[in-house]
A and B are shown apart, each in its own frame.
Chain A
Amino acid sequence: MSNVMGLKAKLGLDVFKEDKEFHIRIKAGKEKDIRLKNTVLVCPAGLYSENDNGEIIIGVDGCLECGTCLLVCGPEVLEWHYPSGGAGVQFRFG
């Protein structure tokens, strides 16, 4: 079973605690920003995708809080915070 397992299933193994709000948002007007396109490749949780309009969208559920997208896009493109205290992913092994 350790073989190919879909990403969703893999993320489903992790423990997540719900947050009150989305901790990452794409800033208005930046949906087609060139920097944002890279997130599709770099996000280890595969949370970014491109829609039919050529805009990048994020589904923040399953975020591993790694920080890669923030480093790639910068704060002009992303409003990026850690989830509130006690929320978000909780690694049991790390």
Chain B
Amino acid sequence: MVEETVEIFDAIIVGAGLAGLAAAYTLAAEGLEVLVLERGDYPGAKNVTGGRIYLNPVREMFPELWKKAPLERYIAHEEVCIMDKERSINVRYDGMELGMEPYQSYSVLRGKFDKWFAKQAERKGAMIVAKSRVDDVIMENGQVVGVIAGGEELRANVVIACDGVLSFTAEKAGLRKGAQAKNFAVGFKEIIELPRQVIEDRFNLEGDEGLARLYMGDVTKGKFGGGFLYTNKESISLGIVVGIKDLMEEEPRIEAPQLLDDFKQRPEVARLLKGGETVEYSAHVIPEGGYKVMDKLYGDGILVAGDAAGFSMNIGVTVRGMEYAMASGYFAAQAVIQAKEKNDFTRAGLATYETLLKNSFVLKDFINFKESLEVLEYPPLFKHYPELAGNIMKDLYEVPAGPKARLYPTIKKYISMGEMWAMVQVGRRMMKI
């Protein structure tokens, strides 16, 4: 055997998404030997997001990163659109603070961002190998000591599973129980190119300002989820996120791609896309079960970060996962740095990972929002209330040939005592989150 020539990395990271790259960047900056294995043609090639990334939670973890990062537009305008079948209500929020530096959030395209982030990690000294799929973990005495990729054995003190929502790496290491469809949503989207000036004029934007618009109600035909529209520099990200269980079970039974086509054909939406050219169609599963269904975050010789650990939150109309991915990758790296100092890569030696997460916004958010899925997965919120709001608006705006009905009876017609009582109950539900 040529045992002594086998290179042992400080860490092997599976997946060059945000979690994996954040871990690699942080470890390499501290001088550790890191190998990142990515199955895509290049980092970012397999990754899909909505997308908007909030920087405040992760800004300080990567102080040098943001100045030159290829982000799209800073989100200066927030809109929500409540959709009924034949009408919709749009609310736009323009806050001065959203237009002030440092900007809190940006639209982002992962194909560009991840590729660039990988270069920054390489500059710090990380080794990133693309076109390389990890097929298994190597276990010795119950401890993970490496991975198998392309038939080759690669060894490390620690493996960090950053391989996204399906995490076969965590599963192979025995950290993950069987996944259930009800704890996941699926998102699918189009990138629609439009000239910069058209985007700015159409959405009322100044320069690099951007807009985020979330849709709820008829966009998912009342199923748990919503639609999104983000403006990029020269394109629009338009898509739908819908709970997989609702997609399978709730009426009307409709094929996923049809939902997006119907959404695009709504006159309110079609108008915004006019003249645009679709250049890509993508889809990806999203974990949404939250804290209650989270699997083990670490074991002997292994840590799990990002979507692989279930760190994505779907609060009905909006998904947050990118900051959690970056922060958990960062904390995983910190835990490895500490484990190396103690030269203890067992479960006990890596336990600081969970402590770091618990003391940070990552697990604090997941604990605070642990009821959110159950509270929000409430069909009337996506069907009945958008309809009700639409109908009230319709009557309020209507001027008939005869006398216009008084306002109070108009509203009363829709909001009976029973309805009011139901709303109080909804309010109570909401108080849990």
Which residues does A use to contact B, with CB under 8 Å? 1-5, 7, 10-11, 13-14, 17, 38, 40-46, 64-68, 70-72, 74, 82-86, 88-94
A4 to chain B, nearest CB (A): 6
B128-156 contacts to A (CB < 8 Å): 130-133, 149-150
Contacts of A46 in B (CB 8 A): 255-257
Contact of A92 among B111, B257, B278 (CB under 8 A): B111
Instruction: Establish whether residues B273 and A2, one from each chain, have CB atoms under 8 Å apart when the complex forms.
Output: yes
A25 to chain B, nearest CB (A): 16
- Can you name 4 extra interface pairs (CB under 8 A) apart from A40-B255, A72-B181? A42-B247, A42-B256, A64-B283, A65-B46
B81 to chain A, nearest CB (A): 18
CA distance A58 to B253 in the complex (A): 20
Instruction: Establish whether residues B244 and A68, one from each chain, have CB atoms under 8 Å apart when the complex forms.
Output: yes
The CB with the most chain A CB atoms within 10 A, among B40, B48, B111, B180, is that of B40
Which residues does B use to contact A, with CB under 8 Å? 39-42, 44-49, 109-112, 114, 130-133, 149-150, 165-166, 168, 178-181, 184, 186, 188, 190-192, 235, 244, 247-248, 253-257, 261, 264-265, 270, 273-285
Contacts of B150 in A (CB 8 A): 85
Contact of B278 among A2, A40, A65 (CB under 8 A): A2
Instruction: Establish whether residues A94 and B255, one from each chain, have CB atoms under 8 Å apart when the complex forms.
Output: no
Contact of A66 among B111, B112, B248, B283 (CB under 8 A): B283
Instruction: Establish whether residues A2 and B256, one from each chain, have CB atoms under 8 Å apart when the complex forms.
Output: no
List 8 A-B pairs, minimum CB-CB distance, nearest first: A86-B131, A94-B110, A44-B283, A66-B283, A44-B188, A85-B133, A67-B285, A94-B111
Instruction: Establish whether residues A92 and B186, one from each chain, have CB atoms under 8 Å apart when the complex forms.
Output: no
Contacts of A4 in B (CB 8 A): 261, 264-265
Contact of A91 among B265, B275, B282 (CB under 8 A): B282
Contacts of B256 in A (CB 8 A): 41-44, 46, 68
Contacts of A3 in B (CB 8 A): 264-265, 270
Instruction: Establish whether residues A71 and B254, one from each chain, have CB atoms under 8 Å apart when the complex forms.
Output: no
Contacts of A1 in B (CB 8 A): 276-278
CA distance A90 to B179 in the complex (A): 25
Contacts of B46 in A (CB 8 A): 65, 88-91
Contact of A68 among B49, B131, B186 (CB under 8 A): B186
Contacts of A64 in B (CB 8 A): 188, 281-284
Known contacts A4-B264, A93-B109, A94-B109; A13 and B281 CB within 8 A of each other: yes
The CB with the most chain B CB atoms within 10 A, among A40, A66, A84, is that of A66
Contacts of B109 in A (CB 8 A): 93-94
Instruction: Establish whether residues A93 and B274, one from each chain, have CB atoms under 8 Å apart when the complex forms.
Output: no
A-B residue pairs in contact (CB < 8 Å), sample of 20: A2-B275, A4-B261, A10-B190, A38-B248, A44-B186, A64-B284, A66-B283, A74-B178, A85-B131, A85-B133, A86-B131, A90-B45, A90-B46, A91-B45, A91-B47, A91-B110, A93-B191, A93-B282, A94-B44, A94-B47
Instruction: Establish whether residues B274 and A70, one from each chain, have CB atoms under 8 Å apart when the complex forms.
Output: no
Known contacts A2-B277, A43-B256, A93-B111; A66 and B188 CB within 8 A of each other: yes
Known contacts A1-B277, A2-B276, A93-B191; A82 and B111 CB within 8 A of each other: no
Contact of B248 among A11, A42, A85, A90 (CB under 8 A): A42
CA distance A43 to B248 in the complex (A): 11
Contacts of A84 in B (CB 8 A): 39, 133
A78 to chain B, nearest CB (A): 12
Contacts of A74 in B (CB 8 A): 178
Q: Which residue of B lies closest to A63 (CB)?
A: B283
Q: Which residue of A lies closest to B131 (CB)?
A: A86
A37 to chain B, nearest CB (A): 9
Contacts of B244 in A (CB 8 A): 42, 68, 71-72
Contacts of A72 in B (CB 8 A): 181, 244, 248
Contacts of B264 in A (CB 8 A): 2-4
Q: Which residue of A lies closest to B249 (CB)?
A: A38
CA distance A40 to B47 in the complex (A): 24
Instruction: Establish whether residues B279 and A93, one from each chain, have CB atoms under 8 Å apart when the complex forms.
Output: yes
CA distance A88 to B192 in the complex (A): 22
Q: Which residue of A lies closest to B260 (CB)?
A: A44
Q: Which residue of B lies closest to A73 (CB)?
A: B181
Known contacts A7-B257, A40-B255; A2 and B192 CB within 8 A of each other: yes
Q: Which residue of B lies closest to A37 (CB)?
A: B248
B286 to chain A, nearest CB (A): 10
Contacts of A86 in B (CB 8 A): 39-41, 130-132
The CB with the most chain A CB atoms within 10 A, among B109, B114, B274, B284, is that of B284
CA distance A74 to B270 in the complex (A): 37
Q: Which residue of A lies closest to B259 (CB)?
A: A44
Contacts of B112 in A (CB 8 A): 93
Instruction: Establish whether residues B280 and A93, one from each chain, have CB atoms under 8 Å apart when the complex forms.
Output: yes
CA distance A15 to B360 in the complex (A): 39
